[in-house]
Structures are given as structure tokens and as C-alpha cells.
Amino acid sequence: MQNPAIEYDYTVAKWFSYLAILFGIIGMGIGVWIAFELAFPELNYVAGQYSLFSRLRPIHTNTVAFGFTLSGIFATWYYVGQRVLKVSMAESKFLMAVGKLHFWLYFIGALLAVGSLLLRYTTSKEYAQFEWPFDIVVVLIWVLWGISIFGLIGIRREKTLYISLWYYIATFLGVAMLYLFNNMEVPTYLITGMGDPFHSVSMYAGTNDAMVQWWYGHNAVAFVFTVPIIAMIYYYLPKESGQPVYSYKLSLLSFWGLMFVYLWAGGHHLIYSTVPDWMQTMGSVFSVILILPSWGSALNMLLTMKGEWGQLKENPLIKFMVLASTFYMLSTLEGPIQSIKSVNALAHFTDWIPGHVHDGTLGWVGFMIIAAIMHMAPRFYKREIYSKKLLEMQFWLQTTGIVLYFSSMWIAGITQGMMWRAVDQYGNLAYSFIDTVTVLHPYYTLRGIGGLFYFIGLFMWAYNFYKTMTASKAIEKEPQFASPMAA
């Protein structure tokens, strides 16, 4: 409150918040649908070939990662950026225009890219499925975001960069580097003048392609699902709770530690594959080391609540954020365990992996974005949050959903992994492959139900947000810490 004269402009932050809600519902709706397809295969045919599992799965992952999560990241950037730099977007017509252009290009680009996947345009590389014309659009979107970040930093009043900014900058740089190198591809039409103009062929072949892909794939997780989410929690948790960050030194250690260690860990996706053994071992070892900076950030956040745990009872937004940190700890312990070679031999290729991904994405990423957007809502509209009760219900419903999700996938994954290797008394394989599929039916069903709970929670969130925007009680001035809520 050093400079109460600054009127922050939340236009772009609001737009991206709407988009986060929209893409969250679409992406996770598809997720729930394909989860049930595995339990009840007839569901594959509801929309002909367009609803086949294999067609929808990449759309699910891309919509959630690059629709829901990126929208959340951009929404919070356009909010947090101004506030920690003590400068308003309204002060620069240029940055305002860049922000708006960033939004529209992103929105249109996202729709086109998803449409292209539905029409079977895919490079097959996970989280990098978009064909080359869409890759170019992605690069443009990213450049616009970069201009926005460094432009705002350029006109800042607060000279020292707050911790959240470190993470936003790292997100920008990390994704730029990874995306560019992994999507190096040669458009076949440009070389030969024949065939489909959208088609391209990877610059890397075989094992090299796999190494580049998982260097990217793992670190797309790092720089989309981890780094920017830490940026958020370092701002929103202290702000909502009114507590200072527990330790500056711990945040330093965690930040630089995370930057240094994360990139090495990609090799854990390729254990027992044909990549060099030393690289597999590096992937394994660095994954275990990664516990340190990950838990550093998470503990720093939990300790920020020291002496103020009463807020956990009173404030559902604090609940969301504290549980997000906790899921982050769970997920960053589980990942390294799966990276140990002997565990990986069992876990790789099974449902334990999607289980791991989802306790991170639903628990950590999803909860943090939900909390961030609900924290911003009263500041956007100068109204109190419409219903605390609804927020509480959403929290418990979604938490139950996540627990159902990961526990069923743990059981499914370990069951399947054990069955694949089981032998009878003569040393012959005990089960045919299909035995190891049919046994999973109850767990697939349970997982679908867990996902459905989370999905219903999204509608409660959207409704609460909408009512806050339109029908909630007005507040006179912007709340400084805890967000005001109607019962």
C-alpha cells in the first residue's frame, strides 16, 4: 500500500480467467469422458470416429495443459505482474495492446489447434502434437507474452523482482527453449511441393527423437505445471493469509535448485529403453535430488502459515492452497520413487503414471488456479465472493475426487505391472495381456467417478465466479488480505 494512487487494470486478467474456466470445463469434461471409455468401451462411438479414445486423449491433455493451465498462468501474470512491479497496464497503451493481442491470438490459436487435432493433424509427440503451422502460432503467442513480461518490467516502479516474477520469467524462458527444440520439423510440402501442406517430419530420428521429446515432455511439466504454479502460490498464499513468506533463503535455494536440477530429470521417462545407460542413471539420480528444491518451495509455503493454522478452518481459499502445496509434496515424492530403476521397471507403461500425473495436476495445478482466480474475483469486480459454502463444498467434493482418482490408479498400475511379469511354476507367463486389461475394469470405473466429482466441482466454481461477478454484495474498497465472502 505504498502507492495507493495506482489503479491496476485487470481487463486482460479477467479475460484469461474466463478462458481458464472455459478450457477447464472442456478439457476435463473430455478427460472424464475418455476415462469412462476405458471402463465402458461403447462410449467410444457416440460421435463416430471423433469420439474414439485415441482421438480424444491428445485433445484432453492439450486442452488441460495449454488451455486451462496456460490461461490460468496468463490470468495470474496479468494480475500479479502489475501488482508486484507497482505499475499499471493502463500506464502504457502499447503494453495494453500487446496484452489484448496476446489474448485474442491465444484464444483463436487454441481453437484452431484443437480443431486440427480433431481432424487428425498430429505429430504424435506427446504435448507437442500440433503440426508446424500451429507451432508457429504458438511461438507468436509466446513472443507476445515475453514482450508483455519484459515490457512491464521495463517500466516498473518497484526495482526488486519479487519471487513470483522469478518463476514467471523462468516459465517464459524454459518453455521457449523446450518448445523450439522439440518441435524442430521439416514441412514436407515445402521440400517436395507435394502432399498435405500441414504435414511435417521430425528433425530427429528414433532414439534421438525420444531423448529430445522427453527432455521436452518432462520439462513441459516443469515449466507449465510446476514453475508458474509456484509463481502463483508465492503471491496468493501470503496475500490471502496476510502472512509474510516464511524464508527468503529457502525460496532462493528452491528456485535456483529447481532451475538447475529439473532439466536433467527427463531421462527417467526412458529407463530401460535404448538411450545410453548413463543417461538413464542421470535421469534417475537427478529425479531423486529434485525432491530437495520441490519440498523446499512446498515447505516454505506451509511454514508461511505457521501460527496461523486457524485460517485453514475459516477460509476455503487457504484450504485450496494448503492442500495444493501438500499435493505438490506428494507428487514430487511419488515421481522420484517412480524414477528409481527397479520401481520404474514395474510402473512404466501402467496406470500408475497417469495416476501420478493427476495427483499433481488436479491437486496442485488445478487447486492453485481455482484459488487464484477466486482470490482475484473480489478484486476484479469489487464484490465479495458469492458463496463461501459453495466453495467449501467444491473443495471437499474435488478432494474426494482426487483421492478416488489416484488411489484407484495406484492399485490399477501396480496390479497390471505385477500381472505382466507374473510366471507360473514352470516359469511361463501366467497371464495373457487381455487378462491384465479386464482386471482393471473396477478401477477404471472408480477413476471415472473420481474425475466426475472433480468435474462437477468445476461447475460449482464457474457458478460461484459468475455470481460473484454479477450478483454479489458490493464492497467499498479492495480487500487487502483475506477475500470477503458471503456465507
Nearer to another protein, 222 or 322 (CB): 222
The radius of gyration of the chain's CA atoms, rounded to the nearest angstrom, is 23
Q: Which of 463, 244, 242 is nearest to 374 (CA)?
A: 463
Nearest to 355, CA basis, from 270, 434, 417: 417
Applying CB under 8 A, does 186 fall inside the site for another protein? yes
Which of 181/459 has CB closer to another protein?
Answer: 181
Q: Bridge-partner residues for 187, per DSSP? A: 200
CB 425 → another protein: shortest distance, Å? 15
Part of the chain binding another protein (CB under 8 A), chosen from 21-29, 288-296, 348-356, 388-396: 348-356
Minimum CB distance to another protein, residue 142 (Å) = 14
Rounded Cα distance, 447 and 458, in Å = 17
249-268 residues near another protein, rule: CB under 8 A: 252, 256, 259-260, 262-264, 266-267
Which residues in 113-152 contact another protein (CB under 8 A)? 120-126, 150
Rule CB under 8 A: say whether 170 interacts with another protein: yes
- 269 touches another protein (CB under 8 A): yes
**Interface with another protein in residues 276-305 (CB under 8 A):** 276, 279, 282
Query: Of residues 187-226, which lie at the interface with another protein (CB under 8 A)?
Result: 188-189, 191-192, 194-196, 199, 201-202, 204-213, 215
Q: What is the grid cell recorded at 143?
A: 513472443
CB 219 within 8 A of CB 174: yes
- Identify which of 180, 190, 181, 175 has the alpha carbon closest to the alpha carbon of residue 209: 181
- Smallest separation, CB 264 to another protein (Å): 5
Selected from 434, 471, 474, 487, the binder of another protein by CB under 8 A is 434
Tell whether residue 350 is a contact of another protein (CB under 8 A): yes
Q: x/- string (CB under 8 A) for another protein, residues 354-383?
A: x-----------------------------
DSSP assignment of 378-418: HHHHTB-BS-HHHHHHHHHHHHHHHHHHHHHHHHHHHHHHH
184 lines the binding site for another protein (CB under 8 A): no
Does residue 341 bind another protein (CB under 8 A)? no
For residues 20 and 369, the answer to whether their CB atoms sit within 8 Å is yes
Contact status, residue 405 vs residue 333, Cβ threshold 8 Å? no
Q: How near is the Cβ of 438 to another protein at its closest, in Å?
A: 5
Residue placing its CB nearer to another protein in the complex, 74 or 168 = 168
Cβ-based nearer residue to another protein, 351 or 384? 351
Contact (CB, 8 A) for 16 and 103: yes
Kindly identify the residues of this chain, within the stretch 43-72, that bind another protein according to CB under 8 A: 44-45, 48-49, 52-55, 57-58
The answer to whether residue 309 forms part of the interface with another protein (CB under 8 A) is no
CB 112 within 8 A of CB 137: yes
CA angle 99, 101, 102 (to 5 degrees): 60
Cα torsion 330, 362, 149, 116: sign: positive
Query: Site residues for another protein, window 446-485 (CB under 8 A)?
Result: none
Q: At what angle do helices 291-304 and 316-339 cross, to 10 degrees?
A: 160
